[in-house]
Amino acid sequence: MSTRVAQVLTIAGTDSGGGAGIQADMKTMQERHVFSTCVVVAVTAQNTLGVLDVEVMPKRIIDKQFEALADDFDIKAAKTGMLANAEVVHTVVENYKKYNFGPLVVDPVMIAKGGAKLLSDNAIDAVQNELIPLAYLITPNLPEAEKLSGITINSIDEVKLAAQKLQELGAKNVLIKGGHFDNSSESRDYVLFENGEELELVGQRFETNNTHGTGDTISSVIVSELAKGRDLRKAIKTGKQFINASIEHGIEVGHGHGPLNHWAFSEENK
Ligand SMILES: Nc1ncnc2c1ncn2[C@@H]1O[C@H](COP(=O)(O)OP(=O)(O)O)[C@@H](O)[C@H]1O
Ligand SMILES: Cc1ncc(COP(=O)(O)O)c(N)n1
């Protein structure tokens, strides 16, 4: 007997090291029991030590991947990750508007944990003016929230101001991830919902280098839950629990910023 399952899409770059990008997204989606599909917009030669090289895909093959998925699948929610440059942002926006892939989660990936630039500066305008207005949810980390909102963030009040600014740019809901608040023993994420409600997710901050792919992973949990029809507040809480488990029960892989344990949450909740 076969079962119909929710189908979900990630539009992003690959990570040969398997810890971030499309690989982290698809591993996470698998753990959340949705069927994952992908549009590869760039290939990175990457490991836990850093990014060696990047090749951006031509528009033709990005368009064709969207077409192939739209012809055959019933995609209920989609997310974006690394989009590389302005041309890719235009292409993704054009395709997302053309097809019906459900709510869009925008993870505005800019710089890898190892320091490599994954979005060129000239793409910021396109992200602000073309992509953000399509976002059901945007999930920037602190430096990304600063860049996109133009607000320097040193306090929770400034986090809130930045979230409001991102809503003014057109994002319906905003999750600002606090993983980059270095000088705290807590991890703090802030959510501003469409209706003005707020949510603060406060958790333990784990002392570890193994946080490669945290942003990709939390946004992939959220988009998976949305594809299954869960409400956003519940989806975000599940995302946070998944991240906590994947950091707390860490694995040792590679010699740099190591990846997460993507199966820890499922093991805990068997
Ligand atoms: N050391 C840590 N301990 C606990 N949670 C963390 C840690 N680092 C990141 N997180 C959590 O992981 C998620 C991703 O955050 P962040 O690292 O800011 O994003 P990104 O990977 O996009 O830079 C957030 O929920 C954040 O609170
Ligand atoms: C292809 C790709 N996408 C996203 C990230 C960000 O992940 P992180 O900030 O954890 O390095 C990455 N390193 N590579």
pLDDT in tens, 132-184: 999 999 999 999 999 999 999 999 999 999 999 999 999 999 999 987 766 67
Ligand 1 centre distance from Cα of residue 186 (Å): 11
pLDDT in tens, 215-230: 999 999 999 999 999 9
Around Cβ 32, how many Cβ atoms within 10 Å? 24
Give the nearest ligand 1 atom to 142 CA. Answer: 18
Report the number of secondary-structure helices (H) and strands (E) in the chain: 9, 9
Give the nearest ligand 2 atom to 111 CA. Answer: 9
- pLDDT higher than threshold 70 for residue 108: yes
Rounded CA gap, 232 and 92, in Å?
Answer: 23
Q: Whose CA is nearest to atom 6 of ligand 2?
A: 112
Q: Whose CA is nearest to atom 3 of ligand 2?
A: 21
Rounded CA gap, 212 and 247, in Å?
Answer: 10
- Mean per-residue pLDDT over the chain, rounded: 96
pLDDT in tens, 15-35: 999 999 999 999 999 999 999
Ligand 2 centre distance from Cα of residue 20 (Å): 5
The DSSP output letter for 9 is E
Pick the ligand that lies closest to the CA of residue 214: 1
Rounded CA gap, 208 and 205, in Å?
Answer: 9
Model-level pTM? 0.97
pLDDT confidence tier of residue 185, bands split at 50, 70 and 90: confident
How large is the average pLDDT for residues 105-119?
93
- pLDDT higher than threshold 90 for residue 1: no
Tokens of 94: 């054009």
> Is the confidence metric ipTM above 0.85 for this complex?
yes
pLDDT in tens, 33-50: 999 999 999 999 999 999
Give the nearest ligand 1 atom to 109 CA. Answer: 22
Ordered by where they begin, the domains of the chain are 7-265 (3.40.1190.20)
Pick the ligand that lies closest to the CA of residue 237: 1
pLDDT confidence tier of residue 186, bands split at 50, 70 and 90: confident
Ligand 2 centre distance from Cα of residue 66 (Å): 22
